[in-house]
Chain A
Amino acid sequence: MTRPLSQPDTRGFFGAFGGRFVPETLKPALDELTAAYAVAKDDPGFQAEFAEALATYSCHPTPLYHAERLSEFVGAPVYLKREDLNHLGAHKVNNALGQIILAKRMGKKRIIAETGAGQHGVATAAVAARFGLECEVHMGEEDIRRQKLNVRRMELMGAKVRPALSGSRTLKDATNEAIRDWVANVETTFYLIGSVVGPHPYPAMVRDFQSCIGREALAQLEARGLGLPTYAVACVGGGSNAMGLFHPLSAHPEIQLIGIEAAGEGVDTERHAATLTKGRPGVLHGAMSYLLQDTEGQVIEAHSISAGLDYPGIGPEHAHFHTTERARYESATDAEALNAFETLSRLEGIIPAFESSHALAWVLRNKGKLTGPVLLCLSGRGDKDMEEYLLKKEGK
């Protein structure tokens, strides 16, 4: 009755997507990581340490909250998976904890990461401090300028923030720089990737570390006798919170999985980040997936009000879910996300991250048309977005 969860094949492909499109220099490191993760995955000791860290360093299981006023407003029950209540305010810490426990086991001394707005950088800096490892975070020079507070938070926790000066000086370029750093220091360094992207085994491993989202939600619904949701909704940047939700649910074909990309100023403008909606298959950052690119195969800059969704690629398993139609991908504009940001704040007293606001925008758009319960991953809290919100709203 239930279909098996998708796993990458031996070359790391989900259908046509994924794989390892990397220089030979990284092959030994990826082989080493694949082997170490295969052992850890089946090791009760590793899983116990990870579960303990999720529970006590963060606060898992995060609550499943029945948003009653929002439910009344849209005409269907809406359950929010409160990943915004995690330590540091987003789901990013789940994956950072999983990877750093693995890095420690592998004897790595130095952790590197890429970050856009700084959410994953802050999560990585935090867990590196917690485990006493050296940490450098690559961040586009332009993002450093826009996200000063997160830079200071990372530095306060002992991380070094390395400005990426190449290209457009944003997340895509920070990722290039992190990969270049890894190539040069591959024998000592663990690259802690922030989403379900990159070469195999990262997309599957990050998904597994984020799958607590979907597993907990299923158990919480069952414990309350609520059964399965009709819809499971999440925003999609690289796609880690969405895959963390979708993957455990994908075993239940009756659940509609809906990923919401950032449409920026509109998918028919040049300023959006709707990779599956408007992109084509291609290779970036070590994997085959969908990609915003021109006819020559040059990567196009993404745009979104939400820095966490501002990425021209997407995790390969999402590309696979898209082409096999196991999940449906739609988009929400900056304006719709802002409206959702305000709506949830007013109706529930919960300020959502701009990223999560995109998923909420889908629910609002379908007001009155929903045929059953909605399970929505509230991936992060919106405190970090207040400045940008005021700027947009009041020109301040």
Chain B
Amino acid sequence: MTFTDFVSQRVASGRKLLVPYLCAGYPTPDHTVPLLHALAEAGADFIELGIPFSDPLADGPVLQAASLVALKAGATLDKALEAAATFRAERAAAGHPEVPVALMGYTNPFLAMGAEALGRKAQAAGIAALLVPDLLPEIWDHLAAPGMPPLVPFAAPNTPEARLEELGRIGGPFLYAVAVLGVTGARETLSASVPAFLARTKAKTGLPVLAGFGISRPEQVPDLAPACDGLIIGSALAKALDGAADPVQAAKDFLIPFRVAMDKKP
């Protein structure tokens, strides 16, 4: 089954997708595989594995710091791909259903590996999709290569309706709806206009819509989940891992309440 079909089936079944974002190599490269397992066990539908970058211009202080910690600890794109492949193989060996891994990262580390090599290695590691926040669909050709997973378009609250329709035509396994005008980072509260933005994005693109940026608490779920197909949670997870004595347990404790909130029927 393709990742696009995987997402559509979950959406069709009425399940809201829960997608944690984990910065590869954070808090250390050794934690990546155990954390992927923990997030899968805690109810993630799929996982975004973040590739650290020296200049993450769409990220707020929390993910900037996580990126820097991971880089200092020796995180690389190759190690992230290896971690994803190991996670996938271990789940399969244990007879657990697949929890797909998508890579999220800035253009430059991907280009440094080279599109050809990235396509080949991503395919070998079973990477489901690629999210590149600084690569507009008009220039996706920069990462075109055999084996390359599908790219995911983004939309923001200021994206005009005509552009939303265009993004729908460009397509992708889903659309990443950036819920705030601004960088990543947990917000206590999101603007009251977010549900309307999500609904507009769904209507105009016709794609499954997952919302991210700023989501920090399970209490936000009832307002957001009905207006979209799932939620992406990044900075708040990184914060929960920061300084945790047992990051694996901390990841589970963090994610389970979101799963509970999302499975609650309205």
Given A167-B55, A296-B112, A183 and B133 contact (CB-CB distance below 8 Å): no
B139 touches A11 (CB 8 A): yes
Binary interface profile of B, 49-63, with partner A (CB < 8 Å = 1, else 0)?
000011111101100
Q: How far is the CA of A179 from the CA of B112 in the complex (A)?
A: 23
Cross-chain contact of B54 among A186, A286, A299 (Cβ < 8 A): A299
Binary interface profile of A, 156-167, with partner B (CB < 8 Å = 1, else 0)?
000000000011
Q: How far is the CA of A27 from the CA of B138 in the complex (A)?
A: 11
A24 touches B156 (CB 8 A): yes
Measured CB to CB, the closest approach of chain B to A288, in angstroms, equals 8
> In this complex, what residue of A is CB-closest to B106?
A283
> In this complex, what residue of A is CB-closest to B213?
A25
List residues of chain A with CB within 8 A of the CB of B76: 296
B181 touches A187 (CB 8 A): yes
* Number of A-B contacts defined by CB within 8 Å: 107
By a beta-carbon cutoff of 8 Å, the part of chain B in contact with chain A is 53-58, 60-61, 64, 68, 71, 76-77, 106-113, 133-136, 138-139, 142, 153-156, 158-160, 163, 178, 181-183
Cross-chain contact of B108 among A172, A176, A291 (Cβ < 8 A): A291
A298 touches B109 (CB 8 A): yes
List residues of chain B with CB within 8 A of the CB of A44: none
List residues of chain A with CB within 8 A of the CB of B183: 180, 183-184
> In this complex, what residue of B is CB-closest to A20?
B136
Binary interface profile of A, 288-312, with partner B (CB < 8 Å = 1, else 0)?
1001010111110000000000000
Measured CB to CB, the closest approach of chain B to A34, in angstroms, equals 13
Measured CB to CB, the closest approach of chain A to B93, in angstroms, equals 30
Interface residues of A in 1-43 (CB under 8 A from B): 11, 19-25, 27-28
Q: How far is the CA of A285 from the CA of B53 in the complex (A)?
A: 13
Q: How far is the CA of A299 from the CA of B53 in the complex (A)?
A: 8
Q: How far is the CA of A23 from the CA of B212 in the complex (A)?
A: 14
By a beta-carbon cutoff of 8 Å, the part of chain A in contact with chain B is 11, 19-25, 27-28, 166-167, 172-173, 176, 179-180, 183-187, 281-286, 288, 291, 293, 295-299
Given A23-B178, A283-B107, A296 and B57 contact (CB-CB distance below 8 Å): no
Cross-chain contact of B111 among A23, A186, A187, A283 (Cβ < 8 A): A283
Cross-chain contact of A186 among B60, B158, B163 (Cβ < 8 A): B158
A24 touches B155 (CB 8 A): yes
A286 touches B134 (CB 8 A): yes
Q: Which 9 A-B pairs have the closest CB atoms?
A: A297-B112, A184-B182, A297-B109, A25-B156, A24-B154, A298-B54, A297-B108, A283-B107, A299-B54
List residues of chain A with CB within 8 A of the CB of B108: 282-284, 291, 293, 297, 299
Given A184-B181, A184-B182, A282 and B64 contact (CB-CB distance below 8 Å): no
20 A-B contacts (beta carbon < 8 Å)? A20-B136, A20-B138, A28-B159, A167-B68, A176-B56, A180-B57, A180-B182, A183-B183, A187-B158, A281-B111, A283-B111, A284-B55, A285-B55, A291-B108, A293-B108, A296-B112, A297-B77, A297-B109, A297-B113, A299-B54
> In this complex, what residue of A is CB-closest to B177?
A24
List residues of chain B with CB within 8 A of the CB of A296: 76-77, 109, 112
